Every structure is written in C-alpha cells, then in structure tokens.
Structure 1
Amino acid sequence: MKILKPHLKNYKKEIIGAVIAILISAFSTLWQPRVLEDIQKALLVNNQSRVLRDGIWLVILGIIAIVAGIFNVYYAAKIAQGVTSDLREETYSKIQSFSLANIEKFSTGSLTTRLINDMNQIMNMMMTLFMQLLRIPIILVGSFVLAIITIPRYWWAPVLMLALILSVGTWVMKNMTSLFNKFQETMDQISTRVKENLQGVRVVKSFNQENNEIKKFNKTSDYLNDLNIKIGYWFSAIMPAFMLIAYLVIALVILLVGTSIRSHPSDVTVVSPYVSYILTLLFAILIGGMVLMTFSRGNVSLKRIAEVLETEADVKFDENAPEEELSESIEFDHVSFTYPDGNDETLHDISFKIEPHQMIGVVGATGSGKSTLAQLIARLYDPTDGEIKIGGKNLKLINEKTLRDTVSLVLQKAILFSGTIASNLRQGKKDATDYELERASEIAQAQEFIKRYPDEFDHEVEERSANFSGGQKQRLSIARGVVSQPPILILDDSTSALDAKSEKLVQEALEHDLKNTTTMIIAEKIMSVKNADKILVLDEGKLVAMGSHDELLKTSKVYREIYDSQKAKEKRGELNE
C-alpha cells in the first residue's frame, strides 16, 4: 500500500467527503431497526401518534442513507480513478526509464498487462476501500452490539455465527489468493502470446502456422478459463455457505424465543429488530468477504506494480551533470560486454578511436556483436568492463539529454508509431520545421513516395505502419534519425531493405549534407561501407581488424573472406549490388 500513499495525499478533500458519507450512511442503516422496534411497541399499545412520528423518522433515515450513499460513490469513484490514473502514469514513466535489460526481464507482454489489467484490479480495490471497507467495520460492530443489546440472553448466537463464518472465510481466502496469483501470471502469458502473434502475423501465414498458433493460444486460454471457473466456484460457494450459517443461527434463536415467550412476552416486539440486526451482520460479513477477495486480488496487482516501481534501472544517468555540447569523437577503451542473462561475452576487449566527422563502417558475421556495439554507444546498455567516451567524456558522466542530443541511433527494424509521417519524424526533433522535415526526407530518399500522397507529411501512419513497405519504413526511420542533424549518427543495418540504387543515394546524401556528423554504418554487405574512412571488422565479439577497404583486403583474412563470399553471391545473383 505504500506506493499508493503519495497519490492519496492529492485527494484529501475527497477522502474526507467519502469518510463522512460512509459514517452517515452506516449510522442511518444501523438505527433503522431500532426505530422499527419503537414502532412495534407503539402498535402494541395503540399509540398512533408515536407510530406516525417514528414512521416519519424511518423514512428520513432511509433518505439520509440513500443521499449519503450517492455522495460516497461519487467521492470513491473520484479517488479510485484519480489515484489509479496517477499510479499508471508513474508506472509508465518508470518503464520509460528502463534499459533494454529491464524491459527484457519483465517482457513487454507482462508490462502491458500490468498497465491495464493490474491497474483495473487496483482501481476496483480503491473503489471498494472507500465504499465498503470503512463502512463494513461500523456495520459489523454496530449490528453485533445492537443484536446482543436487543436480546441479551442470546449473546452467544452472533458470536457463534461470526466464529463459523470467519473460519470458513479464512479457509476460502487462503485458497483463492494462490488462484489470483496464477490468474495474473497467465494473463501475462496470454498478452505476450497475442502480441507476438499479431506482430509476426506475416511469418505465421507464410509458414502456414495458423493452426499451431491457435492450439498454443487455446491451451493457455483454456488454462485461464479453468482458473476463472475455479475462482467462480469459490465465489459461488462462499455466499450460500455464509447465508446457511446465518439462517441456522436465526432459526435457532427464533426457536428458543418461541419456547420461552410466556416467561419473556416482551420478546414479541424485539424478534423482528433482532432478526434485522442478524441479517445486517450477515450482510456486513458477506460484503466484507467480497471486500477481502477484491483486496486479495488487488494486493496481488499492487505487488506486481510495486515490482516495476522498485526496480532500479540498469542504466543510470548523472542528472546533476550539466547539459553540454560534445565533440563528435567516439572512443572505446578495453570495452567488454555480456548480456544480463548471458554467460559468454558478446564483446571482448574492444579498443578504438573515431575522429570527428569521419564515416565509419562496421562489418562482421552474424552474431559478431555489431548491433551490440551500436547499442553501447547509445547507452542502451552499459559495458561490463572498460569505458566508452564521446567527445573525450565517459558516457556515465554525461547527462541523458546531452547524450540523446549527441547520438542518433537508427535501427534495422524500422518502428513507426500510429499518427502521421510528420509526428513520427518529429520524434527526432519535436520542434522540427517543415523545411527540416523535407530536408531530412530528401537525405533519406523518402521524398519520392511522400510527395505522392495528397496530404504529404500529414499522411496517416496506420497501426504497426501496415500501410508502408519495409523500404519505406527504413527511409522514414533514417529521416527521423537525421532530422536533428545529430553530431553522431549510427545506422544499424538500417538500409538493408533498400535497393542498391536507393542505398547509394542515401549514403551520398549523408556524405554531402551531414559533413559535420560522425557517421557509423553497420552493415552485412561490404559494398555498403566500402567508401568509409575507416572500417571496423568484428569476429566473435573481438575487433580483429581496422582500416580502409583497400587496406583490409590486403591485411585482414576475415575481411577478405567476407568480401570474397559476398562477391561469389553477387555472381550467383544471391546478393544485390
């Protein structure tokens, strides 16, 4: 509950209003049977004026309870919605601060479930808290005490009922808590499976895997359904069980009252209020049981949200560091890196220095660590050993905004967001002018298809950018990367979906229009980096060679093998020039 306290402080007036409404509603409810008892006593002595007076009071108490209940629901809803919204925003902000390792630890499906399903459970819990949790103890204690006062000699009856119901309720809650945990975990699995399947729908259809995916989904869905049914069984059983206990106690008391009515004739007027208090006590226990179940479920969700909020980001920036402009040099000083869940080093003892305004190529076989190298420069991960410097400064001593303004990373997998072309490009620079958007799209060779749209940069980007081809998405990603004219631009195999002509035009535009930018091009094809000032050759996570294309052909066996292999594929038509 501690993660809710900071947010609850923002709703002090609403909390006070909800509590006052609860107190008024609870005391009005408790006093009604007492007024009913007075009416019955007045009827026995034929006191019509007292019957009328008490009848009016009974109606007034009912109206007060209804009005107080309306205000209570209003304030409770305002608190629940507000606190949950604030907590959701806090959680989302926390997720945005996570490194890639943190995201992978939770999985995107799990984080999505926590932001939606778990937040709904917390909202339900908050509603219950301010509608019932404070009201139930008052009703429970009040009806219990008043029942004993009404017929003192049967004080043991409500005690017996409470003892039996609490015993059954405790046993049920113990079983349901584990089911709630399993339910939320299975929701994570469902969310992850659906997300992966929809994102990879082309792969599924290409390999005719629809039936297999349906079977996998159905298996998880059936398990979730079984859990829901089990939870439903417990819910459906607990209320009849509680009511059975209460009615047995009421029947026992009425039987005892009936056998002793001659010695206690006044019991005739108190049987009805007594039964009302017992039923009110039962109602309070039933609602209390539902409250406990809601809290049990909400507590599971709170723990899952707390797990996110209490997770420290693997990559921490020095926010006290000043914002500054850095020169365009890049230096790796004996850098090694192992992924959090990995055992083997992805990069081992990498050292090199790139001077400002150079164009650098990075090549190597699949799995040699090229993309990891790029992600370390953008500080999506921190190196396991060694230092990375930009402009001569260690990345760990640089303010986050300074780093993001200095380094622009364009990934191979082009990801665009729902909105417009302009809104996607402005993610690279939020205040980019129309001229800057046009210039960036020209560099990325995206103007030729943007100009075909009547609305040009206002053209809609559909969900998962389904209305663009792979090459178009890559060109828009490149435009987004260059729109801010970053000091350092990293293209992580981000021209792989372009034809040879478009790729060549992009590289020529980069050389001509971004002369003051240090550009790092990571590519599978050597032809993509052939004209670079310097080429880094990676092999199994090690930097095995560095130099120009002509130098490497003479001095690097690994580079020569990659080059010869690709030339052979070109001749066979397997690799586009």
Structure 2
Amino acid sequence: MLFRVLKPYKWYAFLSFLLVSGYVASMLLQPRYLTNVLEAVMNNDQQEIYSIGVLLLIIAGIGLLCGGINTIISAHIAQSVSADIREETFKKIQTFSYANVEEFNAGNLVVRMTNDVNQIQNLVMMIFQVLLRLPLLFVGAFFFAVQTLPSLWWVIIAMVILVGGVAFGITGAMSAKFGRFQQLMDKMNAIAKENLRGVRVVKSFVQERQQYAKFRETSDDLFDLNLYIGNGFAVMQPILMFVSYMAIFVAIWFVSTMVETDSSAIGAITSFVTYLMQIMFALIMVSFMGMQVSRAFISLGRIKEVLDTDPAMIFKTNEVEELEGSLAFENVTFTYPHDDSAMLKNISFEVAAGQTIGVVGATGAGKSTLAQMIPRLFDPQEGSIKIGGKDLRDLSQETMRQTVSIVLQKAILFSGTIADNLRQGKADADQYALERAASIAQAAEFIERMDDTYHSYVEERGNNFSGGQKQRMSIARGVIGNPKILVLDDSTSALDAKSEKLVQEALNNDLKDTTTIIIAQKISSVVKADKILVLDDGRLIGQGTHKELVENNDVYREIYETQKGKEAE
C-alpha cells in the first residue's frame, strides 16, 4: 500500500534520494579531510590548512543546501500522500452500506481518517528525511572507518552487534503495545464524541461525574501504556550510549599503543571516532524511529482494512430506469449483522402505485427496519423486494435514489444553509421547487419569517432549530425530488396534531401519484390509509383498512383502543 500511494510522487522521491545522497556524502567526506587538516597542523603547513578549510566549508555548504531542499520535498510528499489517503478513505466510506458503518463504528472511522493518517504522514516524512539517509550513512561510515584504521574493524562489528541486539529487543517488546494504543484512542474518541453529542442528556440527568469517570478510566489506561512505552525507550538510550562510548574508549586505547610506531594514527583516530559516532547515530536513530515506524505500520494496516473492505451492498448496473411506484415484499427475512434472531420474518405484501400504506406495531416490532429495506439501506438475507416489478438488487443506485425517498424519524440536518439541506433531495432544485417542498412540509411558514429565508444558516445537526422544525425540513427534503415512493418513518412524531394533519393533506393533494409508506406509532396518523400493515415481533400479522383491522385483528384493535382511551382521558 505504501508503494502504491507513493507511486504518483516517484520523481519527487528520486530527487529526494539524490539530495539525501549529497547530504550523506558531505557528512562522510568531512571527517576524511579532517584527518588531512590534523596532519597539516602537525607539519605546520598553513597553505594546506587554508586549502582544506575552504574545501570543508564548501562541502558543509553543499550538505546544508541538500538537507534544506530535501526537507521541503519530504514535506511535500508527506502532505500529498496523507491528503490522497484521507480522500481515498473518505471516498471508500461513502460506498459503505449501513452494515459496514455499524461494523466499524463511526468514531472508529473518524480516528482512522485523522490520527491514523497523521501517523502515516509522519512515517513518509521520516522515510525521506531520516530513514533514507541512515543506511547510506551506516554503510559509508563503516567503509571509511575500516579504511581509516583497518586493524580496529572488530571494534565496529562488536559495537554494531551489541547496539543492534539491545535496540531490536526493546523495540520488538514495545511494538506489540501499539495496536492496544490505537484501540484505546478509538475508545477515548468514542466516549468524548458520545458525551459531546449527548451533552443535553448529560446535563439534564447530572451525569457529568459519571461521564468524567468513564473518560478518566480510558485516559489513565492510555497514560499507563504511554508511560510503559516511554520507559522502555528511556532505558534503551543510556544503554546504547554506554555501548557506543565503550567502543570509542577501546578504539582510543588501542590507538594509543600504535602512536609510538605510527604517528599518523593520531590524525586517523579523530576521523575513526567520528565515523564510529556516525555509525552509532545511524543505529540509535533506527532504534528510536522503530517506535514511530511500528505505530505507522499499524495505522497503515487499519487504513488498508477500510480500503480492502467490500461494501456489503453492491449495485450491479449504472443504467438509470423509469419505474412505476408499485412495491412488493416477497417472503422477506432480515437479520442485523452480529444479531442471532431475525428482525423481519417472512414478510409478504403488495402495494399498488399511488396508494398510501400505513405500518403500525408495538415498539421493536420491526417497523423502522421494514422502512429502511425499501430504499435498500439493507438487503434481506431471504426473499426479495420489488419496485415496479424489478428486484432492488437489479437496479442502479441512481435509479433507487430517483425512485425512493425516505424521511427518517430522527431528523438529521447538515451545517450549511436551508437550501443546501433541501437540495440534498434534488441537487438542481430551483427556488420554485424549494418553496413547493417547504409548503408541502409546512416548513414555509417559519422559513419565510427568517431574515435570510432559504439562505438562513443551519448549525451542525440543526441545533439552531426545534425538533418539529427539523422534521418539517426533513420532509421537505424528502418530497422535493417528486419520488415515486415516499417512506415516512415516524417522521411527524415531533409535530403537533394540526401541523401533522396539514402535512398529510398536502401530501395527498400535491403527491397524488406518489406511493406513500407511513410508519407510525399513532393509529390516527394512518387511519385514512388505503391499507394498513400490522407488525408484531417481526412478523406481518394483519393487513387491511382501518375498519377491517378493528374488526378482525386483535393486536391492532388493542393498540387502537389503548390510544383511543388515552385521547379520551
């Protein structure tokens, strides 16, 4: 995956490699010429000192320039790659069905698009700014160190083995903890998001202390884990430095025995120690980068999991068709993911185009589930659902969205303007269409009283509107595209009786050819429907007109008489 996302920036990567090579070359050449400077000092050769000094400045300047330009290029690659991954992940999530989103959890997906993508961005930055130069630096320093003092090659090998062994052991032990780290991040994010979204409930029931305790527990677990990881790397640093300085001490000790027979060893030891420090730097940096790399590769795996997930729902064709508004359920059985028992069990019924159908039943009977099956938010495990005589699984997504519109019980609005929200139902809706839809939904009366009318600002989740106003705008969004089938999932529950009656009358008058499915808790909302379906424990136990069901269906009669009694009281 990493190579795939880097492929569009291969020329930037190649340029970065050249710049890193130039930077490393300048680092390796400086100790080489430093030996010559020391020899010139010992020989009191001022001209040689001046010449080599100028050359060292030029080499250092080239290295500085290469490093600076490479930092800019590395940042460009890292930012570009992270933006591409973030956009690709979000685009993939848009193809997910309800089942996919519920499987991952919304908070988890947000963490993957933010925290995990940031980890990948840091990894790419490290690759081109640090990690790319470490193997070049290690190999180059090793080669020049051996060439400078060939008799001390074993000191370098011993240091590499000891430093590499310690670093590999500690980094390996720490890397296993990073998966747990991301899980705790997911959990903490979910608690925070849940708390902020439900702040009114938290305040109303004085749950601040309990919410804080829940958050603190997860935060403390994350703190302990971070502390454990930090302590591991804190212990590693002094051990590695001790091994490195021991190697330097041993090198100096052996060189001191060589000075009597070879005076040039004094100049060589300076270069040798510098190369030894460069080797040590490369090993230590690899060790410390191991933590970031481990976290980043876990994040890569989490992003890859999203990108490799097949949508639970696939549309076989892109062909757009014109369908009539008839609807048929044929032996439909549906079970939610990870549930053992079916929510809908062997449901069968037919609806003619233009009819109004009511769906009633006790809480948990499966009414909302049935509503969500019609626009194909879920697919049944058994049976089929047909619109205009065609199975939903044989229709394109565009056909489905043009034919079926659903208004959910929980009105969800997005930040923007009222017009932006209504046009989600029809992207090219003009002003007349906006006003007509708002009039049908009885939303025009409050929208037109606002200073900016349809250009009035809607806060996130519609928090600057009442529940009834949000429901009416949701209904307007549902009817603006003149769908062949309109599903109202208890979408008038926040309206008063007068407003609900006006909405129903407007739907009957202005959408005569639209098949309307009304999911309702109140019998009064569906009493005039052409047909009423009665659900109980996921089964269809009756269908007919209000009069027929009062006479023949015990469950419907009980619901009706209970509500009638409450109204009388």
For Structure 1 versus Structure 2, the TM-score category normalised by the shorter chain is over 0.9
User: Is residue 2:20 matched to residue 1:13?
Assistant: no
1:467 to 451, 464, 468: 464
Per-residue CA deviation, residues 253-304 of structure 1 (Å, 9 max, x unaligned), is 1122223321232211111111111111111112222332221110010011
Distance in 1, matches of 2:280 and 2:566, equals 81
Cα-Cα RMSD? 1.2
1:424 to 381, 400, 421: 421
Q: What SS class does the counterpart of residue 155 from structure 1 fall into?
A: helix
Partner of 2:210: 212
Q: Is the 8 A contact 2:119 2:295 kept in 1?
A: yes
Q: What SS class does the counterpart of residue 453 from structure 1 fall into?
A: coil
Partner of 1:401: 398
Please state how far the C-alpha of 1:321 moved relative to its aligned partner.
4.4
Q: What SS class does the counterpart of residue 540 from structure 2 fall into?
A: strand
User: Is residue 2:531 matched to residue 1:537?
Assistant: no
Partner of 1:380: 377
Partner of 2:313: 315
- Out of 419-428 and 114-123, give the one that drifted further: 419-428
Partner of 2:520: 523
Distance in 2, matches of 1:519 and 1:290, equals 63
Partner of 1:115: 113
Per-residue CA deviation, residues 218-256 of structure 1 (Å, 9 max, x unaligned), is 111111111122222223232222212111110121122
Distance in 2, matches of 1:50 and 1:261, equals 23
The one-letter code of the counterpart of 1:403 is M
Distance in 2, matches of 1:168 and 1:404, equals 60
Distance in 2, matches of 1:434 and 1:16, equals 54
Distance in 2, matches of 1:314 and 1:188, equals 23
The one-letter code of the counterpart of 1:124 is N
1:513 to 510, 519, 526: 510
Distance in 2, matches of 1:68 and 1:571, equals 86
The one-letter code of the counterpart of 1:310 is D
Q: Which runs of 4+ in 1 moved over 3 A?
A: none
Per-residue CA deviation, residues 297-342 of structure 1 (Å, 9 max, x unaligned), is 1001001111111111111111x34111111111111100111111
Identity in percent:
50
Per-residue CA deviation, residues 495-550 of structure 1 (Å, 9 max, x unaligned), is 11111111111111111111121111101001011111111111111111111111
Q: Is the 8 A contact 1:339 1:345 kept in 2?
A: yes
TM-score normalised to the size of structure 2?
0.98
Partner of 1:329: 326
Counting only pairs closer than 5 Å after superposition, residues 16-165 of structure 1 correspond to structure 2 as: 16-165=14-163
Distance in 1, matches of 2:31 and 2:480, equals 74
Counting only pairs closer than 5 Å after superposition, residues 157-556 of structure 1 correspond to structure 2 as: 157-318=155-316, 320-556=317-553
Distance in 1, matches of 2:259 and 2:476, equals 92
Q: Is the 8 A contact 2:417 2:455 kept in 1?
A: yes
Please state how far the C-alpha of 1:483 moved relative to its aligned partner.
1.1
Distance in 2, matches of 1:99 and 1:468, equals 29
Distance in 1, matches of 2:67 and 2:386, equals 63
Please state how far the C-alpha of 1:47 moved relative to its aligned partner.
2.1
The one-letter code of the counterpart of 1:532 is A
Q: What SS class does the counterpart of residue 57 from structure 1 fall into?
A: helix
Q: Is the 8 A contact 2:167 2:284 kept in 1?
A: no
Per-residue CA deviation, residues 70-96 of structure 1 (Å, 9 max, x unaligned), is 111111111111111111111111111
Partner of 1:575: none
Distance in 1, matches of 2:291 and 2:414, equals 39
Distance in 2, matches of 1:231 and 1:18, equals 32
Please state how far the C-alpha of 1:363 moved relative to its aligned partner.
0.5
Please state how far the C-alpha of 1:117 moved relative to its aligned partner.
0.3
Distance in 2, matches of 1:401 and 1:6, equals 31
Counting only pairs closer than 5 Å after superposition, residues 555-566 of structure 1 correspond to structure 2 as: 555-566=552-563
Q: Is the 8 A contact 1:409 1:489 kept in 2?
A: yes
The one-letter code of the counterpart of 1:108 is A
Q: Is the 8 A contact 2:441 2:503 kept in 1?
A: yes
Please state how far the C-alpha of 1:148 moved relative to its aligned partner.
1.4
Per-residue CA deviation, residues 32-77 of structure 1 (Å, 9 max, x unaligned), is 1101111111222222222111111111111111111111111111
Structure 1 gaps, min length 5: 573-577
Partner of 1:569: 566
Q: Is the 8 A contact 1:4 1:87 kept in 2?
A: no
Distance in 2, matches of 1:479 and 1:432, equals 12
The one-letter code of the counterpart of 2:493 is S
The one-letter code of the counterpart of 1:177 is S
Distance in 1, matches of 2:308 and 2:242, equals 45
TM-score normalised to the size of structure 1?
0.97
Q: Is the 8 A contact 1:405 1:486 kept in 2?
A: yes
Distance in 2, matches of 1:438 and 1:463, equals 23
Q: What SS class does the counterpart of residue 442 from structure 2 fall into?
A: coil
